[in-house]
Homo-oligomer: A and B are copies of this chain.
Amino acid sequence: MEKVLTTSIRKGVGGRVTINHLAEELGLAKGTVSKALNSYADISESTRRRVKKIAAEMDYRPLAYAQAIRTGRVRSIGLVFQTESERPFLADFLAGVSQTASTENWTLTVATSASEEEVLLTTKRLIDERKADGFILPRTKVIDPRIDLLRSANIPFVLWGRTKDTKGCAWFDILGEDAMYKAVERLMSFGHRRIGFINSDISYNFAHLRQIGFLKGMKELGIVPDEELILGGIKTTDDGYQATKKLLEMLCPPTAIIYATDVAALGAYKAAAEFGLKVGSDLSIISYDGLPESAYANPPLTTFKVNTKRAGARLAALLIERVRGKSAEALRETDLAFLNPGESDSPLKLSSSELSNKIKASKFNLT
């Protein structure tokens, strides 16, 4: 075998510098080089420095998969999300995760799946092939099969959200229930008493908690919530449009509506327009998420904003600590959403019956 010398630096096929080249160059055993690079205690300070210096000069970087074969770690965060559900947040979220991962020299392995079952299968494949050391679980459900899967496979994970059975779970979450409580508080301070709530699918834990926050706000502030004014399973803007229409067509329509998500709330504008109502004066709405689109709505949406990028960053940091062995119980963080006032809510002007009359009148005009 011939060896190619380049300014006394030997390189392998494909120009790659391996630990063997380093060892040869340094006149050390390759095990010694590895130990020096990984700061083992039984390597003297001087050789450790010498090794690291030459390694930097030769631009040596170990192959992640070669390290993994002994360490069992690929330094990668797994993220499997369902195709439709994460759309509006995705870019910020990925930016947060990826940035933190990068600073720790980790990477991010992403997969998308169309259905819940497919998500499980994809996650399983990533586990089996060890494409990731641990997983971030977005959109946790009250009862979440992904958690069972990861628990039984003994793979570290962190939740973006919380769940019912918290055993062994680490998480980062925004206290959406707190935001919903404050939304009620705000609308009541504006004089509203008949307040609707349009929620997402309550099998998701975030929706479950937001509803709890809404109900708690109503009760503690002295109102018995009317079950008829609470709608669930609203996931798209079109759903939100339909649901808003449904509430407004009631005999005693709500004068204000709280939406669990901006996506749903954006449907309110169309519904209001159809009934000749102006959002922000005839009808007050408050929502949650703080999507960019909410600021472009007319009038701008009052919404509780979430720092999605920071969430991604924290989740990545928590997961890495979890993989490194820290206990799940010590890795639980929460944060608050903050009010982003728009012009979609205001002091009560029309009573519920006045609102109802206006709606009837507009319908009459149309026909």
Contact = CB atoms under 8 A, between A and B. Distances in A.
Given A107-B111, A110-B108, A131 B95 contact: no
B94 A110 contact: yes
A83 B109 contact: no
A112 B95 contact: yes
A136 B65 CA distance: 21
Chain A interface helix/strand/loop/mixed: helix
- Copy tally for this chain in the complex stands at 2
B102 A111 contact: yes
Given A64-B65, A65-B69, A69-B66, A107 B131 contact: yes
A61 interface: yes
Contacts of A154: 14-15
Interface in A60-96: 61-66, 68-69, 74, 76, 83, 86-87, 90-91, 94-95
Interface in A101-128: 101-102, 105, 107-113, 122, 125-126, 128
A61 B153 CA distance: 14
Nearest to A86: B91
A95 B83 contact: yes
Given A102-B122, A108-B109, A110-B108, A131 B94 contact: no
A107 B109 contact: yes
A232 to B, nearest CB: 24
6 contacts: A61-B128, A87-B91, A98-B111, A101-B111, A107-B111, A108-B110
